[in-house]
Amino acid sequence: MGAWGGSLRRRRVSTRLGVSLLLAAVVLAACGGGDNVPSEAGGSGAPSGGSATPSATPSAPVADPERAVDPPGPLEGRLWAADIMIYGQTSLTPEQVAAIKALDGVDAVEVFSLSQVSIENQVLTVAAVNPTTYRHFNPVATAQEIDVWTRIAGGELALPPETAATVADDEDFVKLGNDKDAPRIHIGVYAAQVPRVDMVVNSAWGKELGMVEDNAMLVSTGMTSPQAMREPLRAIIGKGSSIQDLDAVARYGLDPDAQQTAILTGGSVAQAVGSFNYRVLDGGRIAPDQAWVQANIRTEEVPILGRVTCHKAMLPQLRAAMTEILTRGLADKINRNQYAGCYYPRFIANTQQLSLHSFGIAVDLNVAGNQRGTVGEMDRTVVEIFKKWGFAWGGDWAWTDPMHFEMNAVVKVG
């Protein structure tokens, strides 16, 4: 249950998002966002009417001046279909970008930053973008609604309402990462997103989060099949990056033929864990890159639990927590027979989202009495000991998971 079972929490998002957010949500829903406009100039033709309709003058205030970028202004020029997404653990070089632009079958590209943040054991993808240019590759209604891009430029977050329902706090903020000191960002607007993107922020927020700059690209291929472009793109970017057919993503949730990449961001824990490529297997399992597994995953003895398999960055803190629990006479509060594991390379059940168990930095304890959505029976002194040693507790979440503890800070041991 704690690692990947149960459903995401279903609580109503607060209505205090403001008139502009609600107005934009209604506009986007009414426009039926989700389909991109086909590309022109060697592609499949221009949008209806020949060009995108310019939006009205922006009215949204700058919510976060310290993390604001230049406002986008009215939409100018045409929209492009987001056919392929490229992303990897390192920045695309100017030479790679130029070579991709020059390929036959490539009509347009957009370079941006892409990473993942963990929020209550969901690993969600966040894009840090230039609002003026990235909007041209978005679903039509999203691209045309200027309030979306003005609010992103002003330092706020854009995401679909169904995602907000699982991650927003009572003040309509989202904590970008599970790290204890991860920053919080205000939700500015609901909007449909490009496939494989859960949330959008501006480039200033990308720097705040320490995201790898320009490690992702959207490619519009017009009449050319995205599958036909896979090998020419691979020849330019090499084997280390992911090439996603976004039509397959829209249909299946991910491109089953593509290598996937997990790039955590949001604080010192993400830096300690590192990033890895992986392949999707049957039954919701994944196969992380063996080089990352060999460098980071260890099987060691810890008090009470015995042999555990976890990330090497977490093991000293887990050992310290279990040692203190033992020395304080609380060993009977941990049922060794109900330890449900640490490193589990797979998706959360019935989703295509990774959990922190896939990175080996979470443990599930006393499973029987601590099911998802309950108060649970976890001893509160044990909880406080875990928090002391750099762990967050799932019992504190809005949709509780009291068996679950995850590393949320790097704590020096010894």
pLDDT per residue, tens digit, the chain (414 aa), is: 444 333 223 233 333 344 344 444 434 433 333 333 333 333 333 333 333 333 444 456 789 999 999 999 999 999 999 999 999 999 999 999 999 999 999 999 999 999 999 998 889 999 999 999 999 999 999 999 999 999 999 999 999 999 999 899 999 999 999 998 899 999 999 999 999 999 999 999 999 999 999 999 999 999 999 999 999 999 999 988 999 999 988 887 778 778 999 999 878 999 899 899 999 998 889 999 999 999 999 999 999 999 999 999 999 999 999 999 999 999 999 999 999 999 999 998 888 889 999 999 999 999 999 999 999 999 999 999 999 999 999 999 988 999 999 999 999 998
pTM: 0.84
The β-bridge relationship of strands 362-364 and 404-407 is antiparallel
Sorted by sequence, the CB contacts under 8 Å of residue 337 that are 6+ apart come out as none
The amino acid present at 15, given as its one-letter code, is T
User: How far is Cα 185 from Cα 198, in angstroms, rounded to an integer?
Assistant: 14
Region label for 49, one of left (φ > 0), alpha (ψ between -120 and 50) or beta (otherwise): left
- The size of the chain, in residues, is 414
Long-range residue pairs from 382-385, CB within 8 A, at least 24 positions apart, any chain: 382/325, 382/330, 382/333, 382/334, 385/321, 385/324, 385/325, 385/328, 385/330
Domains of the chain: 19-266 (no CATH), 297-407 (3.30.1380.10)
- C-alpha dihedral sign at 204, 205, 210, 215: negative
Q: What angle do CA 32, 35, 39 make, to 5 degrees?
A: 140
Note whether 352 and 346 are within 8 A (CB): no
